[in-house]
Amino acid sequence: MRKYETIFILHPSMDEEAVKAATEKFKGVIENGGGTIDNVDVWGKRKLAYEINKVGEGFYTLINFSANPELPRELDRIFRITDGVIRHIIVKDEK
């Protein structure tokens, strides 16, 4: 199992319950795919460095997890098809 971290930005028009539901959905994808979650850090609503599709802020969440090499591809697919995700990135943690 390798260590990864992902950060995703959700649309600011989402309410608090929708943000929690989306975060739980992504955590479920990791856990159901055989991964283990090490840390979840919710940063909350922050201003973006630059506008994305005329949106200037979003809800940031960072998740550190361990998983097999196939899981990040599936998680990336889920991020892409989920409404409300403005940006996301998954990187292998080299620590």
Output the CA torsion 62→72→53→23 (10° steps).
-40
Is the Cβ–Cβ distance between 39 and 64 less than 8 Å?
Answer: yes
**pLDDT tens digit sequence for 1-44:** 899 999 999 999 999 999 999 999 999 999 998 999 999 999 99
pTM for this one?
0.91
pLDDT score for 82: 92
Is the model's pLDDT at 88 over the cut of 90? yes
How many domains are there within the chain? 1
Which of 1, 17, 7 lies closest to 91, judged by CA? 7
CATH of residue 51's domain is: 3.30.70.60
In which domain, by residue range, is 11 found?
2-92
Is the Cβ–Cβ distance between 9 and 60 less than 8 Å?
Answer: yes
